[in-house]
């Protein structure tokens, strides 16, 4: 049940994120579907490659593919003015929900396979950011997790709390999801940044 809920939340949020980016780039209907699907399912494919799960297991998620398809179709048919208003106000929020839901899901996946803590952290990071990374690369954009605001670092919260076994209930997973979303939104609002250095050539 936990797995299904997180899957649905993440799939809807990232599918919408992919649709909005595709429309901003003026893609046709097929481009919208492609970008939406890779955003929603790309992170899971990258995670499976990392921890040794057959990528073909993604094709067992038929219900999620149908949900994503319906959500993307509805979004495509909505008035452009409404979509622009929605994306400008809620785009980062949709992406933050997908980031948090898939980060928790990835950590659970690795933990239930009895993999070490490092695997839970990596699975959380790649599941949470993999789809968005593929989306941005296909759209010719700088990947979101490489931009200034803190992004991928928030997925470590899921990897640590789930990977250590400290949290193993639906209520706990939802708290971590909410925490990641809140931290991501605060990092955008206050422009929090990780330390960085520049090397200058003589």
Per-residue pLDDT at 71:
93
Beta-bridge mates of residue 193: 149
Domain-embedded: residue 138: yes
Q: For the segment 18-31, what is each residue's pLDDT rounded down to a tens digit?
A: 998 898 899 999 99
Q: Tell which wins on pLDDT, 40 or 88.
A: 40
Rama region for 20: left / alpha / beta (φ>0; ψ in -120 to 50; rest): alpha
Count of CB atoms situated within 10 Å of the CB of 15: 30
In angstroms, the CA 133 to CA 149 distance is 15
Q: Is the pLDDT of residue 202 over 70?
A: no
Mean pLDDT across the chain:
87
Domain that holds residue 102: 2-189
Please count the structural domains in the chain: 1
Structure confidence at residue 3 as a pLDDT band (50, 70, 90):
low
Per-residue pLDDT at 1:
63
Mean pLDDT of all residues in 63-79: 92
Structure confidence at residue 175 as a pLDDT band (50, 70, 90):
very high
Domain-embedded: residue 194: no
In angstroms, the CA 104 to CA 97 distance is 11
In angstroms, the CA 130 to CA 170 distance is 24
pTM of the model: 0.85
């Amino acid at each position: 049940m936990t797995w299904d809920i997180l899957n649905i939340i993440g799939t809807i949020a990232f599918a919408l994120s992919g649709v909005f980016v595709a429309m901003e780039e003026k893609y046709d209907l097929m481009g919208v579907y492609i970008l939406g699907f890779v955003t929603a399912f790309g992170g899971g494919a990258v995670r499976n490659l990392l921890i040794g799960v057959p990528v073909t297991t993604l094709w067992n998620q038929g219900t999620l593919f149908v949900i994503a398809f319906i959500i993307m179709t509805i979004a495509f048919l909505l008035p452009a003015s409404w979509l622009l208003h929605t994306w400008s106000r809620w785009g980062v929020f949709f992406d933050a929900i997908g980031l948090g839901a898939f980060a928790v899901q990835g950590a659970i996946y690795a933990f239930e396979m009895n993999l070490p803590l490092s695997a839970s952290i990596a699975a959380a990071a790649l599941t949470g950011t993999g789809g968005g990374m593929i989306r941005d690369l296909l759209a010719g954009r700088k990947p979101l997790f490489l931009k200034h605001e803190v992004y991928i670092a928030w997925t470590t919260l899921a990897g640590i709390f789930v990977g250590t076994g400290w949290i193993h209930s639906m209520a706990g997973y939802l708290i971590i999801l909410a925490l990641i979303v809140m931290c991501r939104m605060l990092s955008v609002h206050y422009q929090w940044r990780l330390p960085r250095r520049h090397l200058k050539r003589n």
